[in-house]
Amino acid sequence: MNSEGELLPVRPPSEPPPPPSLDDWLPEDHLARFISEFVDTQIDLSLFFHGYDSAERGNLAFTWPSS
């Protein structure tokens, strides 16, 4: 994360970025949609991201750039 709490973009040299939305590649009744919705709305990920709140203890975290 940078000083504003944002994840750094990763730029893989040979792989394209993942699809921007589940709507682009999964049917409406796919289990992955349920899991995605559950993670987005029911799970508190603050403890997971807490470890990435500063670069003092190692490298900053990465995320895919948004299109």
Q: Express each pLDDT in 5-54 by its tens digit.
A: 778 787 767 777 666 787 888 899 999 999 989 988 998 888 777 766 65
**Residue positions counted in the chain:** 67
3-class secondary structure, 32: helix
pLDDT at 10 (0 to 100): 73
Please tell me the distance from the alpha carbon of residue 39 to that of residue 43, in angstroms, as a whole number. Answer: 5
pLDDT at 58 (0 to 100): 64
Query: Could you give the residue ranges of the DSSP H alpha helices within the chain?
Result: 31-42, 46-50
Using alpha carbons only, what angle is made at residue 12 by residues 48 and 46, rounded to the nearest 5 degrees? Answer: 10
- pTM beyond 0.75: no
